[in-house]
Amino acid sequence: MRILDEQGNELESVDESKGYGKHETIVIQHHDEILFQPAVYEDVFVEEYPNGGKMYEHRLVSDQVEHVDAYDDTEDIIRFVAYTQEELDAIAAKQAQEEKEAAEAAAKAEEERKKMEAAAEEQHKQWEAEQEKLKQEQAEKEAKEAERNAIVDAVPDRLNNLEQSQLDTDEAVTSLYEAITSLQTSTEA
């Protein structure tokens, strides 16, 4: 598809920053209406006979012409329309605004990223502290379990010692009782 400027000059390439293209159909050649015309014949004298007769030949002078409506030969093109100075100024202002908004969005995104990074770091520290606390609690639990197991393991020995102490105490009390009873019997006698 050809590209034409506003004056009809063909362009090889265009700078889209200086204008825009729009599709257009142009007339290359106009054809007028052709009216119907019947064939035209004429009688042409060929020869005369001795008896006075004449021979004519019926000859075609022009062919019949069929009716044809008027029409145009057209071509689809792209018309390059140059921006006006006002349009160029508006485009420049819009680009500047978009660049400013993009920079602001990038700065905001960077700030948000830093906040998220700091929050993630804080969460990680909390998680590490919780893990350390869990390890300490586990160590304390294991120490208490070991202490409890030591106490439970020592119970049979303590019971044996307690039984022996009780037997020794019973024996001492019995010996004391017997000694008191024998003293009482000897003082009464």
The whole-chain average pLDDT of the chain stands at 90
pLDDT band at 163; cut points 50, 70, 90: confident
> For residue 13, what pLDDT is reported?
85
SS (H, E, C) the chain: CCEECCCCCECCCCCCCCEEEEEEEEEEEEECCECCECCEEEEEEEEECCCCCEEEEEEEEECCECCECCEEEEEEEEEEEECCHHHHHHHHHHHHHHHHHHHHHHHHHHHHHHHHHHHHHHHHHHHHHHHHHHHHHHHHHHHHHHHHHHHHHHHHHHHHHHHHHHHHHHHHHHHHHHHHHHHHHHHHC
pLDDT band at 139; cut points 50, 70, 90: very high
pLDDT score of 189 more than 70: no
pLDDT score of 27 more than 80: yes
The CA distance from 73 to 58, in Å, is 39
User: Could you give the C-alpha distances from 154 to 4, 146, 164, in angstroms and in order?
Assistant: 108, 12, 15
Tell me the whole-structure pTM to 2 decimals: 0.43
pLDDT band at 141; cut points 50, 70, 90: very high
- Chain segment 49-64, per-residue pLDDT in tens: 999 888 989 999 999 9
Domains of the chain: which residue ranges?
3-84
pLDDT band at 70; cut points 50, 70, 90: very high
What phi and psi values does residue 50 have, to the nearest 5 degrees?
-60, -25
What's the mean pLDDT in 87-97? 93
Contact assessment for residue 59 and residue 41, using Cβ atoms and an 8 Å cutoff: yes
pLDDT score of 113 more than 80: yes
